Amino acid sequence: MREQFLPFSPPYLGEEEIAEVVDSLRSGWITTGPKTKRFEQEFRDYVGAPAALALSSCTAALHTALVLAGIGTDDEVITTPVTFTATVAVIEHTGARPILVDVEPDTMNIDPARVRAAVTPRTRAVIAVHYGGHPCDLDALRAICDEHGLLLIEDAAHAVPARYKGRLIGSWENPVAFSFYATKNLTTAEGGMLTGTQEMINRGIIVSLHGMDRDAWKRNDRSGSWRYDIVTPGFKYNMTDIQAAIGLQQLRRLEAMHARRREIVRLYNEAFAQMGVFELPTERSDVQHAWHLYPLRLIAYRVAIPRDRFIEELRARNIGTSVHFIPIHTFTYYRERYGYRPEDFPVAMDCTEREISLPLHPGLRDADVRDVIDAVRDTLSAAGSTA
């Protein structure tokens, strides 16, 4: 058994990021400034987006996209119950009603057939979450949205650098929200990015910084002016240059970090496929998985130990894990407000009640991966399951 605890997903930072942050501190630009602009431009160019806006979080990006679309009271937005609460909370913040639909059993992504069935005259948008880094069926979702005049918003918190049919997520014109939280494939500690058309991003610049009619950092630049106007009641969603400094260096290392993630997934797949007691995460032939998560699912009738106990046993063996996610409709607020019951979304419940997210980050050594595999095998053996 390992002597030291193996964290589930710590940030993977190097001297390059540290040096870039120090440079920002010495420059005097610590809030939104030139490095934020550089990060926007380099991220835009990397994913092939028409335009990009760096923000304080993926939550901010999702909310901004909804606000720019004019979504509000009496509107409905369709999304998934298998996501972090922020995806649904931003719908509530606009005054609209979130409409949850069930997921596909293999990818755990939103099911397009159920999206189509949920469309009503009040539906304005669909928020599709690329669960774990596996792209949703975007062609099917776009067809539904085009047919009914709906906006497709992608929650790509897990999806750097995922590809759908050869194109990087974020390269289309619809709004796409990315997360750079500490555990993500590319981190800025906290932070996010919104991609989409140049026209949308131009309006987003105003909405995301108090409704001011010009970039705030230009007010303090040599060419700037102290005068500004407020053209809408906006938000405080800007990214700082300290965050962007980390992101600039993370972006340079993204391909290498993703290659390491894929290698770890290969090692996991080879080991766990032989055990015969798990459903392995899928990767469809028309996508490139970002592998933000490695969601392993227990086959209940083959494993003589409940999922929660399995997690406890791995922790006792110094292996950190997580669960993605607690389904939205099981939380107190959504149960009481909308009358949801656990059985309303049976696929989501079945998948998440059997799911364990194993450690997956580029800082894992091969020895760490072997420790995870050995801990899983030992836990199964102790429980009397086949391994």
| Domains of the chain, residue spans | 15-251, 254-383
The residue among 304 and 331 whose pLDDT is bigger is 331
| pLDDT for the residue 47 | 98
In whole angstroms, give the CA distance from residue 109 to residue 78. Answer: 13
- Tens-digit pLDDT profile for residues 262-289: 999 999 999 999 999 999 999 999 999 9
pLDDT at position 89: 98
Q: How confident is the model at residue 92 (pLDDT cuts 50, 70, 90)?
A: very high
> CATH assignment of 15-251, given 3.40.640.10, 3.40.50.10950, 3.30.300.30, 3.30.1360.120?
3.40.640.10
Residues marked as catalytic: 184
CA torsion sign for 39, 44, 47, 53 is positive
Mean pLDDT of 82-100: 98
From the CA atom positions of the chain, what is the Rg in Å? 22
| Whether pLDDT at 169 is above 70 | yes
* Tens digit of each residue's pLDDT (9 = 90 or more) over 332-366: 999 999 999 999 999 999 999 999 999 999 999 99
pLDDT score of 223 = 65
Q: What does the pLDDT read at residue 225?
A: 74
Q: From its phi and psi, is residue 319 left (phi > 0), alpha (psi between -120 and 50) or beta?
A: beta
With a pLDDT cut of 70, the percent of the chain lying above it is 97
CATH tag, 254-383: 3.90.1150.10
Please state, as a whole number, how many other Cβ atoms lie within 10 Å of the Cβ of residue 229: 8
Measure the CA angle with vertex 346, ends 342 and 347; round to 5°. 130
The pLDDT of residue 37 is above 80:
yes
- pLDDT classification of 234: cutoffs 50, 70, 90: very high
